[in-house]
């Protein structure tokens, strides 16, 4: 252990008295304490919402109340099976309402945003061309490998994003089916993208658009009709709903025309042997076409529960409170000259509670490890499964290879990783205040403990 010690960080701050800011929503684990390497324990500050947000207590309670009645979906005549089937289908209707879907839209339940976008990729019509910005999370960047893909350069303003897309769509040959994939809010910078304008540009050039709302839906209301997007994808685990479910919602035609994403029970209406010994299958034309197998009714119900909870809490109040937290973090980091906040669109761009930064003189993995071990603060370090974007923001060669979260550079190369702090509806003021204080102390005084690399991670040296 090093000889110097930190000054105490004030962890007794109370919630903001600002009347515009509601109290945080109760989340599971809000009272969990974790040990500090320097001794003692502290309430864990979960500031990695962009990876997985803690479950709302309301969601956990709803699932616990249903669990004794758990049964097979679409499979049984018994009471619990019928109840579970009703719950599953009512959850589909709740999600459609939450997203303000069009009457003819389908809501397909998947495992995650990644699964949703891979499903859509498998449903693309022949010769479809896909346009995607290099700034996307890998879940949006990579599923289109079997299509003709045009990767668009990172824009530096929302207006430039629209202009880049319009040029690319106008120049495409042949002028056949096309799909644009875009995020609603960056998982690296938190900046909001001009989705409505990009959708208008896509439609003006005969293309469709899918919105990756994984980072948008937990923070802002999302309306399929107002944004005029063709599909939307998101994950439950980022929306305060655990248990591994996701959603793909939108137009039915491409989904109905495609082969089932998975072949099996539930996706088929009828199966019969032919005279030649083969099998004829009639597939469903509803969302069930792409939901083969026993569905994750617990995960689906948890998504429906959180959709209701966020709607009842009111997004106006949630957004106002998050803006207060964002201002606390950004103003605090601005007071530390060694900190560089990463941004595409500039300081004034609207954003959600996702902020990435680097600290001069620090490896980001070391800094994140110290925040955890010495302050009980959980953040993320690495490239955040958005390698081209982070490398662009860090000014590195975009062709350099790496792994998500890799803390070390190759021999002789500059370490390329950043730190991400993210928060949302369940974050108390004290957590972000503790974070800002910890950043200032670490930059001023250094880490109190020694650290070493173990299995690719920076960890406290307890030897």
Which of the residues are catalytic? 385
Residue 237 phi/psi, 5-degree rounding, is -70, -15
d(CA 377, CA 43): 9
CA dihedral 193, 250, 118, 306 (to 10 degrees): 70
Instruction: Tell me how far apart the alpha carbons of residues 28 and 10 are, in angstroms, rounded to a whole number.
Output: 24
Q: Return the closest-CA partner of residue 379 out of 445, 333, 423.
A: 423
10 neighbors 433 (Cβ within 8 angstroms): yes
Burial (CB count within 10 angstroms: exposed 0-12, middle 13-18, buried 19+), residue 155 = buried
Q: What is the helix (H) or strand (E) element at residue 307, kind and residue range? A: helix 297-313
Sheet holding 246-250, edge to edge: 106-110, 246-250, 231-235, 208-212, 178-183, 129-133, 148-152
Buried b (16+ CB within 10 A) or exposed e, 163-172: ebbbebbeeb
Q: How many CA atoms lie within 13 A of 106 on its CB side?
A: 20
Residue 377 contacts by C-beta under 8 Å, 6 or more apart in sequence? Answer: 45, 47, 371, 431, 434, 435, 438
- Distance of alpha carbon 240 from the chain centroid: 11
Mode of pairing for the β-strands spanning 339-341 and 33-35: unpaired
Q: List the alpha helices (DSSP H) in 99-247.
A: 113-122, 138-141, 158-170, 195-204, 224-227
């Amino acid at each position: 252990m090093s000889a110097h010690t930190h000054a105490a960080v004030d962890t007794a701050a109370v919630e903001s008295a600002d009347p515009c800011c509601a109290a945080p929503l109760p989340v599971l684990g809000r009272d969990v304490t974790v040990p500090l390497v320097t001794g003692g324990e502290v309430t864990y500050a979960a500031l990695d919402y962009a990876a997985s947000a803690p479950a709302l207590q309301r969601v956990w309670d709803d699932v616990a109340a249903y669990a004794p009645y758990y049964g097979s979906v679409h499979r049984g005549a018994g009471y619990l099976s019928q109840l579970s089937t009703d719950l599953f289908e009512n959850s589909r209707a709740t999600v459609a309402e939450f997203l303000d879907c069009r009457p003819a839209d389908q809501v397909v339940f998947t495992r995650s945003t990644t699964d949703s976008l891979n499903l859509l990729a498998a449903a693309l019509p022949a010769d479809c061309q896909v346009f995607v910005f290099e700034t996307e999370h890998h879940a949006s960047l990579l599923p289109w490998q079997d299509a003709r893909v045009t990767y668009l350069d990172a824009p530096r303003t929302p207006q430039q994003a629209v202009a880049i897309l319009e040029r690319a769509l106008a120049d495409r040959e042949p002028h056949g089916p096309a799909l644009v994939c875009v995020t609603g809010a960056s998982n690296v910078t938190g900046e909001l993208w001009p989705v409505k304008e990009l959708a208008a540009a896509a439609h003006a050039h005969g293309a469709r658009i899918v919105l990756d709302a994984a980072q948008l839906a937990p923070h802002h209301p999302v309306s399929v009709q107002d944004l005029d997007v063709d599909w939307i994808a998101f994950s439950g685990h980022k929306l305060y709903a655990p248990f591994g479910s996701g959603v793909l919602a939108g137009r039915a035609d491409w989904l109905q025309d495609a082969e089932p994403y998975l072949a099996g029970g539930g996706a088929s209406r009828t199966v019969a042997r032919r005279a030649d010994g083969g099998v004829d299958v009639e597939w469903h034309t509803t969302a069930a076409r792409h939901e083969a197998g026993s569905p994750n009714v617990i995960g689906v119900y948890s998504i429906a529960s959180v959709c209701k909870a966020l709607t009842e809490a009111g997004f106006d109040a949630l957004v106002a409170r998050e803006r207060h937290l964002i201002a606390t973090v950004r103003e605090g980091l601005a007071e530390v000259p060694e900190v560089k906040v990463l941004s595409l669109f500039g300081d004034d761009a609207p954003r959600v509670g996702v902020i990435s930064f680097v600290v001069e003189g620090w490896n980001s993995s070391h800094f994140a490890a110290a925040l955890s071990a010495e302050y009980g603060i959980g953040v993320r370090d690495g490239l955040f499964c958005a390698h081209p974007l982070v490398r662009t923001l860090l000014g590195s060669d975009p062709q350099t290879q790496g792994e998500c979260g890799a803390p070390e550079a190759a021999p002789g190369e500059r370490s390329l990783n950043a730190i991400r702090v993210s928060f949302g509806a369940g974050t108390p003021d004290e957590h972000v205040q503790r974070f800002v204080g910890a950043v200032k102390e670490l930059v001023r005084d250094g880490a109190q403990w020694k650290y070493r690399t173990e299995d690719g991670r920076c960890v406290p040296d307890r030897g």
